[in-house]
Chain A
Amino acid sequence: MMKLDGKTAIVTGASRGIGRSIAIELAKNGANVVVNYSGNEEKAKETAREVESAGTKALVFKADVSNADDVQAMLKETLSEFGSIDILVNNAGITKDNLLMRMKEDDWDQVMDINLKSVFLTTKAAARPMMKQRKGKIINVSSIVGVMGNAGQANYVASKAGVIGLTKTSAKELAARGINVNAVAPGFIETDMTGELPPDVQEAMKQMIPLDRFGKPEDIAKAVVFLASDDADYITGQTIHIDGGMVM
């Protein structure tokens, strides 16, 4: 008997990086996984194959999570395929970095829509079946920069700080219905997204990390599995920093 046997999880932005790792780790612990993606179908299918080789079912679903109709369609399909939604992991995110003084309004809007509005939309949609079953786990992927701020990422940082506020508020609203809402705030994790940063920036960041290494996507995924399990039933509204001790 594994931690998440018989549970169904939706992971947004699961084709690559942290989302992919979360999908696989949930599957290894027994959960069926809806692998959501927006652009890269091939990569999403790869994630799905890994989920299946862990012994559970995968459903690949293309949806723009900043679009309410897409989100509704994904929830509907999940319920008809698996019969319940027990775990929602809001991971989908993008960056459009620039100095505040150079940032275009469009870049602000896009990042806010995909990183923050999406969490509102999916939470609202998933809370419905979760309220009915009087149980559910929602885990939002924020970022440590949402806590500490970061030059060149005004839009991304604002969206990730927003995710923390939304986590706390939905935790308070949904607690009475047995739904736990928590966030993880990854620090510097080795993914495509952070790989784009210049080497000198990467080096400077490493010096800020007491544990003296960058994180791996699995470091995040394992915390998400814990928060998704019954072991975390008494934890809600929290943001767990997974950053090698960078921000304490």
Chain B
Amino acid sequence: MAEVLDRVTKIIVDRLGVDESEVKLEASFKEDLGADSLDVVELVMELEDEFDMEISDEDAEKIGTVGDAVSYIESKM
């Protein structure tokens, strides 16, 4: 859990230019972290590369918060 969260956090910090302390599990990419729709698409692309997995468009649409991303990735590992 901690390891996935660390890697996800690093990507979010790099991509969205937010402070690490803002990246909480309940944080919404769009509402709390200032991402637009295309940023979220890009984040998902980077997560796919980082964790070497494919995230379908249907699944990607359900990822709205940091916690959604972390639990999705863990369920696929």
A contacts, CB < 8 Å to B:
128, 131-132, 173, 176-177
Contacts and interface: CB of A to CB of B under 8 A. Distances in A.
B39 to A, nearest CB: 9
Given A173-B38, A176-B38, 7 more contacts: A128-B45, A131-B41, A131-B42, A131-B45, A132-B45, A177-B38, A177-B42
Contacts of B45: 128, 131-132
Contacts of B41: 131
Nearest to A176: B38
By DSSP majority rule, is chain A's interface helix, strand, loop, or mixed?
helix
A176 B42 CA distance: 12
Interface residues of B, number: 4
A47 to B, nearest CB: 32
A131 B41 CA distance: 10
A128 B42 CA distance: 8
9 contacts: A128-B45, A131-B41, A131-B42, A131-B45, A132-B45, A173-B38, A176-B38, A177-B38, A177-B42
Contacts of A131: 41-42, 45
A132 B45 CA distance: 9
Interface in B19-43: 38, 41-42
Nearest to A131: B42
Interface string B36-57: 0010011001000000000000
A176 B39 CA distance: 10
B36 to A, nearest CB: 8
A196 B41 CA distance: 45
Closest 9 CB pairs of A and B: A128-B45, A131-B42, A176-B38, A173-B38, A177-B38, A132-B45, A131-B45, A177-B42, A131-B41
Contacts of A173: 38
A176 B38 CA distance: 9
A141 B74 CA distance: 43
Contacts of A177: 38, 42
A177 B15 CA distance: 13
A61 to B, nearest CB: 22
A51 B8 CA distance: 43
Contacts of B38: 173, 176-177
A177 B42 CA distance: 10
Nearest to A174: B38
A9 to B, nearest CB: 22
A128 B55 CA distance: 13
A193 B45 CA distance: 40
Contacts of B42: 131, 177
A179 to B, nearest CB: 11
B52 to A, nearest CB: 14
